[in-house]
A and B are shown apart, each in its own frame.
Chain A
Amino acid sequence: MDWYPLINSLRIAAISCVLVFFTGVFAAYYVARLPRAVKGILDVFLTLPMVLPPTVCGYFLLTVFGMKRPLGMFLAQWGIQFAMTWYGGILASAVVAFPLMYRTARGAFESFDTTLAYSGQTLGLSNTYIFWKIRMPACRQGILAGTVLAFARALGEYGATSMLIGYIPGKTATISTTVYQLWRTNDEAGAFFWVLINMAISTVVLLIVNMLERRNGKAGAS
């Protein structure tokens, strides 16, 4: 039994989820404070990957990072190649999952009671402390929801991933590309097996989230 697609999918989803967590949260934080006009334009740009078909995202990624494109060739000098490598999958999943994190985090930040941040400032707390110890916990539910959505989206990413990194067994194969490949080659049992694996992971993730929510509820800081 070759478990490579599982390991590859999990690491791609996990790493891109971490990346998306930080970039999404910081983008949300800074965009929420921009003047309205700039905010509108940036918002459209940052949300676009969510509404575009993933293959279109894959197309753009290839035109930028493709092996014969300037940036792709430039990065290749340092041995970095996003096309047809497993870590290219991180880029593809991150781009597609980013808007989910960004939008949910922004919604959470916008409903944050700013007097909490102001009172922290007048008490002499640093902005970094206020951000991590007051703003983030207060927006915890939105941020957590965004993270889970981003992870789930990254785990299930197919379109952009298959465009950018293709399907090379043992190298770039992920669960979703494997399901398609096996189905295409009439290995229905194999496809069904990976479908079950995917469903199991998603179920476990959702259970963990529900447990976290309940524990937080008990801590009393609603």
Chain B
Amino acid sequence: MSLSVHIKKDFGGFRLCVDLEHESGITGLLGASGCGKSLTLKSIAGIVTPDQGRIVLNGRVLFDSEQHINLKPQMRNVGYLFQNYALFPNMTVEKNVLCGLNREKDKKLKKKKLEDALAMMELTELAGSYPHQLSGGQQQRAALARILVSEPELLLLDEPFSALDAYLRDSLQIQVKELLEHFGKDVLLVSHSRDEVYHLCSHVALIDGGRILETGRTKAIFASPGSRIGAVLTGCKNIAAARKTGEYEVEVPEWGIRLKTGRPVGDHICAVGIRAHYFNPRAGENVFPVRLDGRMEEPFETTILFRYQDQDRDSAPVWWRLPKDRAPEKMPERLGIAPQNVLLLYPEDTAGEKE
């Protein structure tokens, strides 16, 4: 299985310029709203026509501006799960699923596939219900059933969990993950939620301003996003401008400190990031005096806001997050950070591809 997308489209104020190679498994497109991730999916599905470029799925050319190839959505065999699930409101669940079986001419087989899909998705009891009578999770299952019976070569999921209540989201993610693994489909998932992407996707592509900044294995990208926007998208709370002062040392003027790093520092370094969970009062290195600035309690975690002793007065406080039961009563006088947990961030155009 392979998908190769190289497209450009000008929307007046916004330029989409995406280069993406997907080999197999589930790839997540992670970006803020309006970054072009849904447009990328729509281009692959054939709903949006790029100005130029080429889209190839398993050797089949879906779009090629030079050869004037632009397959209709009907001919692409690409499943698209919309954010609102787009179930046909005037049809029952069964009829909706049958819409996905419109290519199946063998009546017996069609009936069997329908029944199998309804059973698999636990929709048999709801076959006669209309979409507006279903809960959000049931709607999602019906929409997935409808897509999966059509046996697409590629499945596109557009913010699949954003229409659901938070408490449903987590349990459904687990179900959907099992389902996708069971079907063995190749999947592109668009999301603005780093948790969703981290949980569901083996690979991730970070998108910003219509461009793909970085692609790679999800764990590698989250462990060391190479760019400032990448750090923000992967949930890094503390980012500050930095400059190189040594092979393994950077200066962070905003915080008034010099940090040792785990990796050699490149010449183009523009910032460092420190994830809020990685501060440690018992660390042996990068230890600096700090003072408390504020405290936020959440059900299971505590966020402690602090400032370094020589920190710039106008700069934002630094975030330290830790499980509630480990949160100290009294603010430690010094906090450290292991050198390998200092993320080195480079300008977007020099941030390379990660393995």
Contacts and interface: CB of A to CB of B under 8 A. Distances in A.
Interface string A86-124: 000000000000000000000000000101101111111
A203 interface: no
A124 B80 CA distance: 11
A122 B151 CA distance: 11
Given A121-B47, A124-B150, A138 B89 contact: yes
A220 interface: yes
Contacts of A221: 89-91, 130, 132
A137 B45 CA distance: 25
B304 interface: no
Contacts, number: 72
Interface residue tally on A, bucketed by range: 20 to 34
Contacts of A134: 88, 90
Contact of B130 (A124, A125, A220): A220
Interface in A133-149: 133-134, 137-138, 140
Interface in B98-113: 99-100, 102-103
B130 A123 contact: no
Nearest to B143: A119
A210 interface: no
Interface in B13-51: 42, 45-47
Main secondary structure of the interface of B (DSSP, over half): loop
Contacts of B78: 122
Interface stretch (B55-63, B68-76, B170-178, B188-196): B68-76
B133 A118 contact: no
Contacts of B82: 115, 118-119
Contacts of A122: 45-47, 73-74, 76, 78-80
B88 A116 contact: yes
- 9 pairs of A and B residues whose beta carbons are closest in the complex: A121-B73, A119-B86, A137-B90, A221-B90, A122-B80, A115-B86, A220-B130, A115-B82, A118-B47
Given A115-B86, A122-B47, A138-B89, 4 more contacts: A116-B89, A121-B72, A220-B132, A221-B91
Interface of A: 113, 115-116, 118-126, 129, 133-134, 137-138, 140, 220-222
Interface of B: 42, 45-47, 72-74, 76-80, 82-84, 86, 88-91, 99-100, 102-103, 130, 132-133, 143, 146-147, 150
